[in-house]
Amino acid sequence: MTTASEPAEQSTDEMGPLERWTHGVVNEPEKRKRLYRALFYVAAAFFLVTTLFPFYWLLVLALTPSGAITRGDWNVTVPLLGEIPFPTPQGFNVASFVEVFQQVPFHLYVFNSFVLATATTVIVLILASLAGYVFGRLEFPGRGLMMLGILAVSYFPPAAFLIPLFDAFLGNAVVVPFLGIELFEPPRLVNTPGSMIMPFSALFLPLAIFILTTFYAQIPDGLEDAARVEGTTRLGALFRVIMPLSAPGVATAAVLTFIAVYNEYFFSSIMALQNQPEQWSPLVGGILSYQTQYTTDFNLMAAASIVGVLPMLILVVVAQEKIVSGLTDGALKE
């Protein structure tokens, strides 16, 4: 024993500092714990900086008066490094948050996005619930193939739909390609919420279907049977028993859909012919309308972005609480 431990002790003295440190981390739980904690802080700090720095930058821009942004001096004196460029507020112009609403009716753009997102979420949840029930709880031939089809559709690039949809929503007759047979003449939907909600629902449906299918499939059959014997139809059992018990899944699908539509610009910028709130232009359209041919009010755009993000922030915090609570007390036993 002594002969075995002596050379080890001797070698500890001969080790370099790095070697001694690794040796300590491997052998001593106390040091290992310290290392893990340090690594956790490094990783957490990295994610916090990368996600929060853009917001900080937005805040700096919003608070800096418009003139100071373009000609301002962004250098900061740091000891040892000298002068380096880093965004710091050049003034404290809180008035820009008010001006945001004075220059354009920004609240109307926010309202548009809200209506579009809410309507799409409701439609998506209803349709995806029905589809999720069928895919998750019923056995029928071709189920796998249909699921695969939905998956395939969800991978189509949205731009592929854009031109035919725009053509149809302008009120032009839908024509069979090459044959020239006129099928029907759709109503002119551009500049109405319909032209946006319809493609949004189609685009975000597959994801919601997949989420809800997995959740609905986990509800025990006995509960549905019990509900049906007690007096509901299959549909009633879905909305009264299966959906409430899958609340975390429903909330996840709803939040994902809502945020995706709220942030959407590609379709809505084209379906709303101008950046006008009366034409159902969304939030992003509102932010861009601070830009004119000759001027760009960066401070107002930044302030508008912050104002636009706030409702989302509240929604996610509230929904997250719901999702977490749903996950913890959703101990599902029959």
Partner 1 sequence: MARVRLNDVTKRYEDIVAVNEMNLDIEDGEFICLVGPSGCGKSTTMETIAGLTKPSDGTVHIGDTDVTKLPPKDRGVSMVFQNIALFPHMDVYENISFGLRLRKYDTDEIDRRVDRASDIVQLEGMLDRMPNELSGGQQQRVAIARAIVREPDVFLMDEPLANLDAKLRVHMRTELQRLHKQLDTTIIYVTHDQAEAMTMSDRIAVINGGKLQQIDPPLVCYNEPANLFVAGFIGSPSMNLVRGELAANGLRTDHFDLEFAADGLESAVGDGVTMGIRPEDIYLTKNADSVDSASEVIEARTDVLEPMGDEIFVYLSLDDTSSEMMTSEEVSTASNQLLMSVDPDTVIDADESVSVVFDRSKIHLFETASGTAITHGIADLSSRPTAAEAEPTPTEAESGGQHE
Residues contributing to the site for partner 1 (CB under 8 A): 220, 222-223, 225-233, 236, 241, 244-245, 331-334
Question: Measured between alpha carbons, how far is 62 from 299 in angstroms, rounded to an integer?
Answer: 4
> By C-beta, is 164 or 236 nearer to partner 1?
236
| Least distance to partner 1, CB of residue 248, Å | 12
- Can you tell me the distance from the alpha carbon of 219 to that of 281, in angstroms, rounded to the nearest whole number? 41
Backbone angles phi, psi at 325, to 5 degrees: -65, -35
| Minimum distance of partner 1 from residue 319's CB (angstroms) | 18
Q: Are 302 and 291 in contact (CB under 8 A)?
A: no
> φ and ψ at 85, to 5 degrees?
-75, 125
* CA distances, 250 to each of 124, 205, 213, 315 (Å): 11, 13, 10, 15
- Mark out the alpha helices in the chain (DSSP H runs): 2-14, 17-27, 29-63, 66-71, 95-103, 106-137, 143-154, 158-169, 194-217, 221-230, 234-237, 243-245, 247-263, 266-271, 283-288, 298-328
Residue whose CB is less far from partner 1, 246 or 305? 246
Q: How far is the CB of 141 from partner 1 (least distance, A)?
A: 11
Shortest CB 247 distance to partner 1, Å:
8
Element (DSSP H or E) covering residue 82? strand 82-85
* Minimum gap (Å) between residue 138 Cβ and partner 1: 13
Instruction: Closer to partner 1 by CB, 170 or 226: give it.
Output: 226
The first and second tokens of residue 205, run together, are: 């449906």
Nearer to partner 1, 171 or 220 (CB): 220
| DSSP β-ladder status, 174-175 and 75-78 | unpaired
CB of 211 to partner 1, least distance (A): 19
- For the CB of residue 327, give the shortest distance to partner 1 in the complex, in Å: 14
Q: Please say whether the beta carbons of 228 and 237 come within 8 A.
A: yes
Smallest gap from residue 29 Cβ to partner 1 (A): 38
**Largest Cα–Cα separation, the chain:** 96
**Which amino acid belongs to residue 82?**
G
Measure the CA–CA gap between 114 and 6, rounded to whole angstroms.
73
Both structure tokens of 30: 């106390």
Which lies closer to partner 1 via its Cβ, residue 30 or residue 139? 139
Of the pair 69, 245, the CB lying nearest partner 1 is at 245
198 vs 226, beta carbon nearer partner 1: 226
